[in-house]
Amino acid sequence: MTINNMKSGNLSETAEFLLLGLSEDSELQPLLFCLFLSMYLVTVLGNLLIMLAIISDAHLHTPMYFFLSNLSFIDICFTMTTIPKMLVNIQTQSKSISYMGCLTQICFVLTFAGLENGILVMMACDRFVAICHPLRYNVIMNSKFCGLLVLLSFFISILDALVHTLKALQLSFCTDLNIPHFFCELTHILKLACSDTLINNILVYLVTSLLGVVPLSGISFSYTQIVSSILKIPSAGGKYKAFSICGSHLIVVTLFYGTGFGVYLSSEATRSSRKSAIVSVMYTVVTPMMNPFIYSLRNKDVMEALRKLITRISSFH
């Protein structure tokens, strides 16, 4: 199908892209369907349980768990943006996604990736204040300030997503509309464009640097200070407790940023579209699925809240 001079005011209603998925092998499709459906259900259920446990337990109404509940909500939304379309395509043996559907998916993916980025920074900030400035913690990390941080992150993420999406609307596309991916990702769309994408690519690298490198630098600085403070704690038990609280966050940060930068900045990922798609699975599917396990299994308070919640749910039946 050909799309010539595709502008925001001159769109063909039948225009569509083809999502090739992770593999074009027909024998692998049922396996991929079962695998991704399972991961989707685990992600939604796991993060939903974390949210309900935090909301239902008054002991967890603190800044750290407020940010964690927001992270769980974002992970659910992030996963819902990509996996359902992939499952529908596999089930119906169709690879198509409409032009506007593709751009909408890009917008949501960028929004929720940006929000996850912001929440991870806030969680690092929270741990920094709690360990390095414990006496001022309740004053600094008050509920109003935490709410403003989440709203600020939401505003920045929406703005970032809209800038990229509106610039993508101005591109024109030729005959090759095959996307070697299971969802519409901005970098793949730019590769398919026939028109000049210089401004789009500059925006991608500029914004990725600002919203990736700067927050990651902030997290690195926070943990440098945290480690320095923890090493000054005299008791071994105190050191272990402090490290265990921060350990879960560090694991999630490593997963999210490691795979995210692998997609957008790695030259190896840029050369191989299929490798890029596989790497994307890590930060769009695996990380949201792992977050509930990472934070619950390593946290006695969350585990206790989950036990109470499950007991309460069981008593209704």
pLDDT confidence band for 176 (50 / 70 / 90) = confident
Residue written as token pair 């490593």 = 254
The answer on pLDDT for 310 being more than 50 is yes
Classify residue 33: in a domain, yes or no.
yes
Is 260 domain-assigned?
yes
The confidence score (pLDDT) of residue 83 equals 94
What is the number of domains present in the chain? 1
Lowest mean pLDDT segment, chosen from 21-30, 123-132, 148-157 = 21-30
Which residues constitute the domain of residue 268? 25-315
**pLDDT per residue as tens digits for the range 200-217:** 989 988 887 788 788 888
pLDDT reading at 149 higher than 90? yes
- Residue 12: inside a domain: no
Domain annotation covers residue 10 = no
| Residue 8 forms part of a structural domain | no
Q: 296 in a domain, yes or no?
A: yes
Strand partners, 178: 18
Whether 11 maps to a domain, the answer reads no
CA distance readout (Å), 180 to 3, 176, 254, 297, 306:
18, 11, 26, 36, 40
Residue 96 sits in a domain whose CATH number is 1.20.1070.10
- Domain membership of residue 4 (yes or no) is no
For 99-116, how does the pLDDT look when each residue is reduced to its tens digit (9 = 90+)?
Answer: 899 999 999 999 999 999
pLDDT at 145 over 90: yes
For range 266-285, the mean pLDDT: 65
**Exposed e or buried b for every residue in 228-252, given b needs 16+ CB within 10 A?**
eebeeeeeeeeeeebeebbebbbbb
Helices (runs of H) and strands (runs of E) counted in the chain: 13, 3
Q: What is the DSSP letter of 94?
A: -
Asked whether residue 265 carries a pLDDT value surpassing 70, the answer given is no
pLDDT in tens, 57-108: 888 899 999 999 999 999 999 999 999 999 999 998 888 999 899 999 999 9
